[in-house]
Structure 1
Amino acid sequence: MFKNIVVGVDGSETSEVALRLACDLAGKYASEIHLVHTPQPHTVAFALGATMGYHAATTMPSPEEVREAAEKVLNASKAIAKDLGLEITQIRAERGDPAEQIIACAEDCGADLIVTGRRGLGGIGSLVLGSTTQKVNHLAKCACLSVV
């Protein structure tokens, strides 16, 4: 049913749940998992201790800190997949708009399914449905699963 599953990860709890669910599906359908992580300086700033809308301007991370944070997210994601008996087929970690990167990966690999957390580490603008997930659901040419 699903040959290629794209999973957007950002280090949030909901993206971990999304990855675990995608791995469960991949195990059942012998699917390949494609991870997409788009490092964002503002989410790294919040992870490093800045409060939403406060201190973000003075505590913006260096490019090195963004790279290190991205490696941690990807290593944690690979470890989750490995613990569930799966290998990640592809990892895409490029700067840019997260939704556009997820869509590009899905189109490149011919994804049958995109799995994202409903609410990640992005800004406060979309409280019910994260702006990345909302954009992915709108633009995707395959099935999308938003995980709580």
Structure 2
Amino acid sequence: MFTTICVGYDGSEPSDNAVRMACDLATKYDSSVHVVHTPHPETVAFAMGAVAGYHVATTMPSAEETAKSAAVMLEKAVETAKAAGHTGEIKTHVGEGDAAKSLIEYANSVDSDLIVTGRRGLGNLSALVLGSTSQNVGHHASCAHLTVK
């Protein structure tokens, strides 16, 4: 039923649940799993929060910090997949710009059958006005979309 599953990941509990669900489905349908993380200041701060001297409220992350946090996030997603019992390869991708658009574009590029997202992640204040990543993916994806809590 599903051959390629993409997962949007921001490090939140709902995105961990999305990875677990994607891995469960991938095991059932022998699918490939692709995890997509699009870094934003909120997720960089979340990833870098444990680093001494990083002042979330006063400092915008540098390109180096953004790249480092993306690697941390993707490593966390792969660990979550392994802890869920997934034994296959997990492909990872770092997106740019709007998370929903980036996820959809990547899913299209790998001919994904399904996109899995968490219902509520670490989205920013604009998500309250413009809608969440999950809502945007649900409205604009050309494949099936599953949102998990």
TM-score range relative to shorter protein: 0.7 to 0.9
| 8 Å CA contact retained: 1:44, 1:66 | yes
Q: Matches of 1:72 and 1:89 in 2, distance apart?
A: 15
User: What secondary structure does 2:116 align onto?
Assistant: strand
Q: Does 1:120 align with 2:138?
A: no
Moved more, 104-113 or 86-95: 86-95
Partner AA of 1:13 in structure 2? E
User: What secondary structure does 1:2 align onto?
Assistant: coil
Identity %, equivalent residues:
52
Partner AA of 1:81 in structure 2? A
Unaligned runs of 5+ in 1: 50-54
Unaligned runs of 5+ in 2: 50-54
Task: Please give the TM-score of this superposition, normalised by the length of structure 1.
Answer: 0.85
Report how far residue 59 of structure 1 moved.
2.6
Report how far residue 43 of structure 1 moved.
2.9
Report how far residue 82 of structure 1 moved.
2.5
Report how far residue 99 of structure 1 moved.
0.7
Aligned to 2:71: 71
Aligned to 1:105: 106
Moved more, 20-29 or 80-89: 80-89
Give the superposed CA RMSD: 2.1
Report how far residue 90 of structure 1 moved.
2.5
User: What secondary structure does 1:36 align onto?
Assistant: strand
Report how far residue 46 of structure 1 moved.
5.2
Which aligned runs of 4 or more in structure 1 are off by greater than 4 angstroms? 46-49
Task: Please give the TM-score of this superposition, normalised by the length of structure 2.
Answer: 0.84
Structure 1 residues 99 and 11, CA, compared in 2 at 3 Å: closer, same or farther?
A: same
Partner AA of 1:18 in structure 2? A
Q: Does 1:136 align with 2:140?
A: no
Q: Matches of 2:131 and 2:88 in 1, distance apart?
A: 27
